[in-house]
Amino acid sequence: MDYIPPITLPYGKEYHLFLSFCNEDEEIAFPLLMELEEKYRLKCLYHIRDFIPGVSVTENILNGIEKSMKIVYLISQKFKENFMCKEEILYGITASHKQCENSMIPFLLEKIDMPRELQSINYVDATLEGIDVTKKIYEVCVFGATSNCILPNVIPFQELCNGTILRVFKRSQTWKWGIPVIRFSEDKEMRKNISDEDRSRKIDQLCRLLLEDLNSSIFTTRYFMHSSEFSYRAAGLFLLGLPSFAVLPLLLYLIIVRTITEETLIGLCCTLVGVPVIAVCIAYGVAWYRNLNQDGGDLETITWKYLTDNYQTLKILLLLRSTKEVVVLNYDTEECKKFCIFALKRKMIDEDEIEREAEKMVLDFIDGNRRALADWSGLPEFKYNRHNTYAQKKCICQCLESKLF
């Protein structure tokens, strides 16, 4: 048999597994316990053997779950009907939230529906043939929370979830003396009221400053340089204007000299045709080039600075959707950061370093996915919702899971 390395217990834990089952299933639970303990050297809390006499059952369960890395639930019809077993599921959910990671491993013994609370978690199906169930349990203990087995969807519904749009600022355009003038202003219809008045006021204050900066940016003040529409108009002006300017000297010449040779006439005709053609080519070229450069780099710089200065205190993400729109999203990155810290503790020791690394990971993700976050629909979807994100999209820590584990 291959050497199976024992798993070191994390700080504060005394057992690898808490076995949750009803007494009717003891015949299945006991052999499982033996194999887990002997073959995989996993320390299991087996209530019939390990509960402390003289202490209430509830306290025994709570202590046991708290001291265990994972809880294995042996799900059968009898288990579903048992009051204490139901309690053990609820305690497992609480424990998972405390340690920011799913610690529950459902184990289906019969072909029945999973208890509602466990339905969003991947389970080990012991009814299927050819499955090495103990090996699966061991692997969960080694690799911890993997992307298909983390937290169940037990976060209560909140009106303002991560990703909800709070404010939208749109660009509007007017023409002044034939030159396009743009301004950013808030789209009041898209405004979402926030019940926390203090926070709402602070966000509005911030938005006022942002608007001032956006409206005095180089992109805004020199917008005509980026406007292809303006370039086309200028081209039109050249097209119509230049021939008439070219015709004027010709008329003057004819009036003064009154005689005209064939060569001069040909030369003048060439000028009449050639000048506008060249002018149009130049104007279209300029328009095309301006259009290419319509990236609003300084708008990006402004919004990014506001985001990094305020995302932690105001729990918002301020993002440039396109050069036409800036959105303010409700987003509490603190929760995702906490999860990153928890995961990084498996690899790093220094607490300050972990904190810095977690913060960097979150901010780097936002930086690398600014457009996707601003559009929101561009983010990947997922079946469970760890941090209550809008439209069932993955939250930041879920997107970072592959890097964390």
Residues that bind Zn ion (CB under 5 A): 336, 387, 395, 397
**Rounded Cα gap, residues 5 and 18, in angstroms:** 20
Whether the Cβ atoms of residue 328 and residue 317 lie closer than 8 Å to each other: yes
Whether the Cβ atoms of residue 33 and residue 15 lie closer than 8 Å to each other: no
* Closest distance of CB 389 from Zn ion, Å: 8
SS3 content of the chain, % helix, strand, coil (to 5): 55, 15, 30
* Closest distance of CB 362 from Zn ion, Å: 9
Looking at the Cβ atoms of 358 and 397, the one nearer to Zn ion is 397
* Closest distance of CB 361 from Zn ion, Å: 11
Looking at the Cβ atoms of 140 and 395, the one nearer to Zn ion is 395
Q: Retrieve residue 24's tokens.
A: 């009717």
* Closest distance of CB 106 from Zn ion, Å: 23
Whether the Cβ atoms of residue 254 and residue 260 lie closer than 8 Å to each other: yes
Looking at the Cβ atoms of 70 and 387, the one nearer to Zn ion is 387
* Closest distance of CB 367 from Zn ion, Å: 17
Contacts of 243 (CB under 8 A, 6+ apart): 272, 275, 276
Looking at the Cβ atoms of 101 and 213, the one nearer to Zn ion is 101
- 64 burial via Cβ count (<10 Å: 0-12, 13-18, 19+): buried
What strands lie across the sheet with 179-186, from one edge to the other?
179-186, 165-176, 325-330, 316-322
Looking at the Cβ atoms of 69 and 395, the one nearer to Zn ion is 395
Looking at the Cβ atoms of 61 and 341, the one nearer to Zn ion is 341
Looking at the Cβ atoms of 226 and 387, the one nearer to Zn ion is 387
- 170 burial via Cβ count (<10 Å: 0-12, 13-18, 19+): middle
Q: Retrieve residue 98's tokens.
A: 């405390």
